[in-house]
Structure 1
């Protein structure tokens, strides 16, 4: 059958997907579909629900505020073209799925074809991007690639290696949330750019084994080899066919396996090695996915190791042993290395020699992932999807009295929100949420503690997905609470030392969001995820899912979760801020239920406690000064400006009651013990005749520093005072803080 040519001609040097060229969808007034095509009458006629299909739209970044889509194409050019689907719909109408199809493709051959592309997913109404292969002889089609995660304002690269034995097309589907979903009216988009169908070997590291070993080779120093197979000769232990051909009769199929029959002996090892890869991005390591078949009562073990190509040192990053059932088991793990490396699959013969191990469909995708199955994680890795348990994470023992509530492992079917977990995207998926008793107490907290980990010079990165949702978000209504991450260690006396590394408060959105923070620790440590209820009236959800810990010095995500010395909500002490005042009668105090300004509630959550204050009443009508000093604060890494933000409220009858902020450089890191002439006032406020009467007011001040420094907050009054809360130091100019 001859190939049908659509769009640009085969000879076009830039826009021919069939010839292996990249379709960048043109530029400005010359945007083009290349050899791809939007939804056609033919496609609609094949669909059982034609009213729910629509076309992708050709556009460019310059039109994004007008019609939607990303602000730039993958090159960063606002005039560059791309294809996108606006996923929102009018109230009362069902959103439509956008369909785009390649021109006809011939059978791929044993080596397969590699589809490469870039994609962007944003907004509450955007659900999923899928790639299908569709048989031209009938209506059969099969999903070969899909993703649900937002790209957080960036373009991400996708690639998929596939084989097909008949003429076919490739179909890209932009899927919105379902019509019954309340998010379907909110703006969102799914976009693709730089589409190209290439030869199979251009999908580096990917392999379906139909055309051989691809970029994988048997090691020369092991006991025996992995073999290519198409179907087992042993119905008791081996897979009857490869993973893909079990889904479609037109995909063909092969896999690699180790045979435990004679002359193999128990503990014999076979190693399959990848080509050499360069060091991974420390902020965004890739995820390797594959399928394994481990069946038989004598199955040994399968391990995945990362080998440093210079030192030849290896570390185990995934391991599974014994019989896993007569099925293809989905597996995945993050790949992180700060040196060039190889990936090694190591299969070991078990006892008795009745059991085979097979591998199929190795893929590598962008972005970190939690290890699957969770039982394959190294014991102290900290990786967990919570689908099979807690993976070594645990609530503290009640006798330790470290918290008040528990994190509980639940499904969405047990909770009103969210509608699905992050791992599976389904209501029956599992995640961890802060316990929500009928009688909440403001400030009740729960800890979720990781397995013990060993610190070393190599910085690690903690990544996870979080949900902080509350139906009511008005400032005068309830306050949800907080979610924070700490490094937990013990000093020589056994006292717990907590170092905050990530923290967010109150409502953060309606969907699962991505988080990460660097882990820097010497010696043994644990990671603590702490969740705190704010208001006792809160009806919201504080939850985490898909925790991954990998080697890499990652930035904190999102920016608002960065924790600096000096940041403090005052719900857990004073965070290193200390009184400088020598007179114990005139101190900054932490609010308590029995001692606090009348009618004043915490700004963070609206609780009775969780802020600091001073309150002076001096019969001599002499103003009293009270100073509060911060811990030493580091400048930004690039010496850019910082912004110190806080909330304050004044009270009392003394119109001269005042509040001031000072800054002093501390080149040697020493503490300021008193306010001297070398300290600079950078902000001030005076009550005057109008006290704030229990109303919180926002304050901010720019900080310029090239070395370590400290801040001093000074209050003064003879009959009055101030309350303070929610100290936060941000990167950037104060004008950018909202």
Structure 2
């Protein structure tokens, strides 16, 4: 006997979510939530079966602390994560399944236990950083800003900002599903710029920043990534300056006009100042799509990818 997230729901759309939810309570000490999870399909071509996540639900916010995506191994996998102490706000714990686009496969949960002790995240791939986002339902902790500065109309400026895609030629990279599920920026017949800005990142932690990106309509366009230090820093002059870390230029003369997801990666070394990552898009009669941004702390051999994206 185990709990099963029903993937054979033919009426359910991709990214539909259901959850097992605990009772509400105060956690005066750290606790370790442990369970076993089974995520697998026997259909070799349909590995994008969905996701499982652990979400802490407070009165004013939801916080995802554990996230496992798509097919794993053909067996039960042990999982655990710390539920942090919070003696002032009640919290409910949700183990939520997310529907992928296909109906072949299984997401199962068994043997849930809670112990009054902190514990490291297992499996490590399920670890969540503040800047991680799959853009399934919202922009997470990322913020969109900018727009068409030459336009006096606020409504038309908003059209050029990064937003969640709803109807475009690309499938969602996370689940290979139709109808959106990624961050999207487009415009036609005008030069438009917009920034997608991460939450504040700690200066003392090395990150390998990874993401997937694609053009949507081919025309001259730029996608750049900057490190922007927080305002109150005490570092040297160089560390207080905005730094261009990655750039990709779209060539309008390229004959291949098919939107295709490409992998992007860059290292974020430690500094003396907390900072934010800014993904800056510039388009005219074209568009950019970004999905599955993730910050890894374990890959110290991280290099800029693609290699042509290294700034001069």
1:55 paired residue number: none
Q: Cα deviations across residues 346-383 of structure 1 (Å, max 9, x unaligned)?
A: xxxxxxxxxxxxxxxxxxxxxxxxxxxxxxxxxxxxxx
Q: Cα deviations across residues 688-729 of structure 1 (Å, max 9, x unaligned)?
A: 133662211111110113443211101112111111100110
1:515 paired residue number: 79
Contact 1:503/1:562, CA 8 A, preserved across alignment? yes
Q: Find the aligned partners of 2:294 and 2:159 in 1 and give their Cα distance.
A: 28
Counterparts in 2 of 1:445 and 1:560: CA distance versus 1, 3 Å? same
Q: Find the aligned partners of 2:127 and 2:14 in 1 and give their Cα distance.
A: 24
Q: Cα deviations across residues 240-285 of structure 1 (Å, max 9, x unaligned)?
A: xxxxxxxxxxxxxxxxxxxxxxxxxxxxxxxxxxxxxxxxxxxxxx
| 1:542 is the counterpart of 2:107 | yes
Contact 1:470/1:538, CA 8 A, preserved across alignment? no
Q: Find the aligned partners of 2:164 and 2:186 in 1 and give their Cα distance.
A: 12
Q: Find the aligned partners of 2:216 and 2:24 in 1 and give their Cα distance.
A: 48
Q: Find the aligned partners of 1:455 and 1:439 in 2 and give their Cα distance.
A: 38
Q: Find the aligned partners of 2:3 and 2:249 in 1 and give their Cα distance.
A: 46
Q: Find the aligned partners of 1:546 and 1:667 in 2 and give their Cα distance.
A: 47
Judging by fraction of residues, say which structure has more strand. 2
1:578 paired residue number: 143
Q: Cα deviations across residues 568-608 of structure 1 (Å, max 9, x unaligned)?
A: 0011211011112153131111011xxx32x2110011112
**How do 1:93-492 and structure 2 match up within 5 A?**
430-435=1-6, 436-456=8-28, 458-474=29-45, 477=46, 479-491=48-60
| 1:633 is the counterpart of 2:201 | yes
Aligned to 1:663, which of 227, 250, 265?
227
1:256 paired residue number: none
Aligned length: 282
- Using the TM superposition, give the Cα deviation of residue 733 of structure 1 relative to its aligned residue in structure 2, in angstroms: 3.2
Q: Find the aligned partners of 1:666 and 1:471 in 2 and give their Cα distance.
A: 48
- Using the TM superposition, give the Cα deviation of residue 521 of structure 1 relative to its aligned residue in structure 2, in angstroms: 4.0
**How do 1:520-599 and structure 2 match up within 5 A?**
520-522=84-86, 523-535=89-101, 537-582=102-147, 583-592=157-166, 596-597=167-168, 599=169
Aligned to 1:605, which of 175, 178, 183?
175
1:266 paired residue number: none
Q: Find the aligned partners of 1:587 and 1:640 in 2 and give their Cα distance.
A: 30
Q: Find the aligned partners of 1:606 and 1:657 in 2 and give their Cα distance.
A: 25
Counterparts in 2 of 1:731 and 1:680: CA distance versus 1, 3 Å? same
1:679 paired residue number: 242
2:209 paired residue number: 644
Q: Cα deviations across residues 547-582 of structure 1 (Å, max 9, x unaligned)?
A: 111122211111111111110001121101111215
- Using the TM superposition, give the Cα deviation of residue 613 of structure 1 relative to its aligned residue in structure 2, in angstroms: 0.8
Normalised by the length of structure 1, the TM-score is 0.37
Counterparts in 2 of 1:711 and 1:640: CA distance versus 1, 3 Å? closer
2:192 paired residue number: 624
> Which SS does the other structure have where 1:538 is aligned?
coil
Consecutive unaligned residues of structure 1, counting only runs of 5 or more, are: 1-429, 492-496, 670-676
Q: Cα deviations across residues 104-138 of structure 1 (Å, max 9, x unaligned)?
A: xxxxxxxxxxxxxxxxxxxxxxxxxxxxxxxxxxx
Aligned to 2:294, which of 714, 728, 738?
728
1:392 paired residue number: none
Counterparts in 2 of 1:652 and 1:664: CA distance versus 1, 3 Å? same
- Using the TM superposition, give the Cα deviation of residue 666 of structure 1 relative to its aligned residue in structure 2, in angstroms: 2.0
Contact 1:468/1:506, CA 8 A, preserved across alignment? yes
Q: Find the aligned partners of 1:692 and 1:710 in 2 and give their Cα distance.
A: 32
- Using the TM superposition, give the Cα deviation of residue 634 of structure 1 relative to its aligned residue in structure 2, in angstroms: 2.8
1:703 paired residue number: 268
Q: Find the aligned partners of 1:511 and 1:610 in 2 and give their Cα distance.
A: 29
- Using the TM superposition, give the Cα deviation of residue 498 of structure 1 relative to its aligned residue in structure 2, in angstroms: 0.8
Q: Find the aligned partners of 1:558 and 1:471 in 2 and give their Cα distance.
A: 22
Contact 2:217/2:259, CA 8 A, preserved across alignment? no
Alpha-carbon RMSD: 2.2
Normalised by the length of structure 2, the TM-score is 0.84
Counterparts in 2 of 1:693 and 1:467: CA distance versus 1, 3 Å? same
Which 10-residue stretch deviates more, 509-518 or 684-693? 684-693
Q: Find the aligned partners of 1:628 and 1:446 in 2 and give their Cα distance.
A: 29
Counterparts in 2 of 1:466 and 1:692: CA distance versus 1, 3 Å? farther
Consecutive unaligned residues of structure 2, counting only runs of 5 or more, are: 148-156, 234-239, 306-312
Which structure ranks higher in relative contact order (CA pairs < 8 Å, sequence separation ≥ 6)? 2
Between structure 1 and structure 2, the one with the greater Rg is: 1
Counterparts in 2 of 1:734 and 1:715: CA distance versus 1, 3 Å? farther
